[in-house]
Amino acid sequence: MINLVLFGPPGAGKGTQSEKLIKKYGFVHISTGDLFRWHTKNDTPLGKRVKEIMNSGALVPDEITIAMLKEELDKNPQAKGFLFDGFPRTVPQAEALDKFMKDNGSAIHFVIALDVNEAELRTRIAKRRTVENRADDEEEKLNKRITEYFTKTIHVLPYYEKQNRLNTVHGIGDIEEIFSNICTILDKK
Ligand code: AMP
């Protein structure tokens, strides 16, 4: 069983690479962004709580996010391995994830960070805006999401680096080449 965290700022290509990794390795995909979007779309009590926060581009508070993640883990006791996409985004989330994995006799084996500079992120999301129509891709909200990444989420990197679990992959260029670089890391160990 292999568990992987795919890490990176909004627009880094986490969704695209996740799809390819799931196909190849059979991970259970846990995207907290997709889960929150599902809740808001279906107007669940959780969706009602997080809608405004998400639309502003801010991070959802840790206790809400961690509880939702735990529920999702508990739904998949037979998983061969998890791919976490968009989680953890804060150090307390990373600590909670380690604890959940440990409680199940498992661990996060790989953390792969997609490295993409801010100018490229903005270009990509501007393009995505014309296709996906995500409310939080609008300019002002995007600024907030990028600020949240560079002020809060970035601190997750040293957390994993200190434990020698961090692998950085250059995230600009050919999608297949980026995918192949990720696979090389996963297949090596
Ligand atoms: P994403 O699709 O991963 O960019 O997530 C969309 C939005 O969902 C984010 O801007 C946050 O408002 C919320 N969200 C997703 N994952 C998390 C997380 N791990 N912690 C806090 N908020 C999150």
- Give 74-95 pLDDT, tens digit per residue: 999 888 899 999 999 999 999 9
- 89 Cβ contact partners less than 8 Å away, ≥ 6 residues apart: 32, 59, 65, 148, 149, 152, 153, 156
87 lines ligand 1 (CB under 6 A): yes
For 29: left if phi > 0, alpha if psi spans -120 to 50, otherwise beta; the answer is beta
Q: Is the pLDDT of residue 63 over 90?
A: yes
DSSP secondary structure letter of residue 116: -
Q: Which residue has the tokens 């990197």?
A: 157
Cα(11) to centroid(ligand 1), Å: 12
pLDDT for the residue numbered 136: 65
**Domain spans of the chain?**
4-186
Q: Give the model confidence (pLDDT) of 10-39 as tens digits.
A: 889 999 999 999 999 999 999 999 999 999
pLDDT band for 168, please (50, 70, 90 cuts).
very high
Told to judge if 165 belongs to the known catalytic residues of this protein, a careful annotator would answer no
Cα(59) to centroid(ligand 1), Å: 6
- 94 touches 88 (CB < 8 A): yes
- CATH architecture for residues 4-186: 3-Layer(aba) Sandwich (3.40)
130/44 Cα distance (integer angstroms) = 28
User: Considering just the CA atoms, what is the radius of gyration of the chain in Å?
Assistant: 16
Q: Which of 128, 129, 141, 144 is catalytic?
A: 128
Report yes or no on whether pTM surpasses 0.85: yes
